[in-house]
Amino acid sequence: MKPTFNVTPEAPRLTLRLSSTPRGARLARRLAVDQLTRWRLPTDGPLAWAVATVTAELALNAVTHGRTPGRDFGLCVRLLTDTIRIEVSDTRPDRYPVLVPPDDTAEQGRGLLLVDALTSNWGCVPRGTCAKTVWADIPR
């Protein structure tokens, strides 16, 4: 996918570094939904569910596939005019996310399908030579 960015420097955002552990991924999900309250957006409907699900999937992918021992992952949640952008950065630029049909018998491997279904656009961009950012836009 070709990334399209409509971010302005003054866009309200939450930016954090979290431990590359399952606990860090769970915390990313909770903090992203908590941020909706600060922006006076609903935290009990489809938007909050989409923010929680997309953040959880991208953070867990960073922890599972993008982890380098001793290095954190980054979370940025941006409030844009028509969307909420979730960005998760990790230290494995050699491992880009790939959307593939799941194996019917597999217990895992459907996270990016959820991300694709819940977002208007998503993609991955390199961050220098030692990191990447996976981003997803959730319509408001």
- pTM for the full model? 0.87
| 69 DSSP assignment | T
Q: What is the pLDDT of residues 67-80, one digit of tens each?
A: 777 789 999 999 99
More confident residue, 38 or 93: 38
| Structural domain boundaries in the chain | 13-139
132, 124 Cβ separation under 8 angstroms: yes
Cα–Cα distance list, 16 to 7, 30, 31, 37, 99 (Å): 18, 12, 9, 17, 26
Fold of domain 13-139? Heat Shock Protein 90 (3.30.565)
Q: Is the pLDDT of residue 59 over 60?
A: yes
Tokens 């590359």 appear where? 20
The amino acid at 23: R
